[in-house]
């Protein structure tokens, strides 16, 4: 064996802190699910709410760039000839 001393107490402290944070994250995720269930029960579209949350995390420049590209791609698709669809047998 080597003469290296491992600070077990310090390692335990880090592990326990991470475990506590994991437990708190799990509780927060459960709370978030409950909020979405409540919104759904009141007739709101949860997918749209999640999209709004995602957009609010972006800064305005990112949103503007995304919207511009989305618009450009949609117009390009609409302007191209549609490929003929194969007939079902």
pLDDT tens figures, 49-65: 999 999 999 999 999 99
Q: What is the pTM of this model?
A: 0.65
Q: Is the dihedral of CA 77, 52, 55, 22 positive or negative?
A: negative
pLDDT of residue 59: 94
pLDDT of residue 65: 94
30-58 CB burial, b ≥16 within 10 A, e <16: eeeeeeeeeeeeeeeeeeeeeeeeeeeee
pLDDT, tens only, 20-51: 999 999 999 999 999 999 999 999 999 999 99
* Residues 74 and 66 sit within 8 Å (Cβ to Cβ): no
Residue spans per domain, the chain: 8-43, 45-76
pLDDT of residue 78: 93
The Cα 87–Cα 69 span in angstroms is 33
DSSP state of 7: -
């Amino acid at each position: 064996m080597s003469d290296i001393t491992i600070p077990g107490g310090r390692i335990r402290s880090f592990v326990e802190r991470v475990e506590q944070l994991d437990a708190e994250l799990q509780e927060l995720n459960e709370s978030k699910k409950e909020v979405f269930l409540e919104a759904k029960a009141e007739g709101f579209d949860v997918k749209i709410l999640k999209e709004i949350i995602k957009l609010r995390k972006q800064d305005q420049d990112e949103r503007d760039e995304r919207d511009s590209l989305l618009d450009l791609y949609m117009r390009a698709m609409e302007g191209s000839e549609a490929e003929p669809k194969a007939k079902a047998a």
